[in-house]
């Protein structure tokens, strides 16, 4: 039996409304900051001048279960990569962490887009 790449509750477009490391003026600079998660465990995100494609899996060893991913993309036109995770909170929003390889990281909170 094949494991699910992502839970149904996490699939979809989420608007990031808070980041630990960067303020709203930065993370909404070009577009409303977002993370978009697809049923196949892939997705994309953008905040500020950072954008990327991600690929991940459900990490059932964490409580609650998290979607753990790696990503590749760009930061101000320079190649960038890293990893992160997201999990569903009891209030129906998500929280997560995005980390740059050998660089910054930031926790974030997001709400499901309408």
- Percent of the chain residues past pLDDT 70, beyond the cut: 96
Helices and strands in the chain, H and E counts: 1, 8
pLDDT on residue 4:
64
Q: What is the pTM of this model?
A: 0.92
Is pLDDT of 49 > 80? yes
How far is it, in rounded angstroms, from Cα 94 to Cα 81? 22
* Mean pLDDT over each residue of the chain, to the nearest integer: 93
pLDDT in tens, 15-38: 999 999 999 999 999 999 999 999
CB 37 within 8 A of CB 12: yes
pLDDT on residue 64:
77
How far is it, in rounded angstroms, from Cα 79 to Cα 8? 31
Domains of the chain, residue spans: 8-109
52's CB contacts (< 8 A; 6+ apart) are 44, 45, 46, 71, 72, 73, 74, 80, 81
């Amino acid at each position: 039996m094949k494991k699910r790449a992502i839970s149904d509750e996490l699939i979809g477009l989420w608007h990031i409304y808070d980041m630990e490391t960067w303020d709203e003026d930065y993370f909404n600079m070009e577009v409303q900051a977002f993370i978009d998660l697809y049923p196949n465990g892939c997705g994309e995100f953008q905040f500020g001048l950072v954008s990327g494609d991600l690929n991940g899996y459900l990490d059932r060893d964490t409580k609650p279960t998290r979607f753990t991913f790696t990503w590749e993309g760009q930061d101000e036109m320079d190649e960038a990569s890293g990893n992160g995770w997201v999990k569903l909170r009891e209030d129906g929003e998500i929280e997560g962490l995005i980390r740059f390889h050998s660089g910054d990281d930031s926790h974030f909170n997001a709400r499901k887009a309408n």
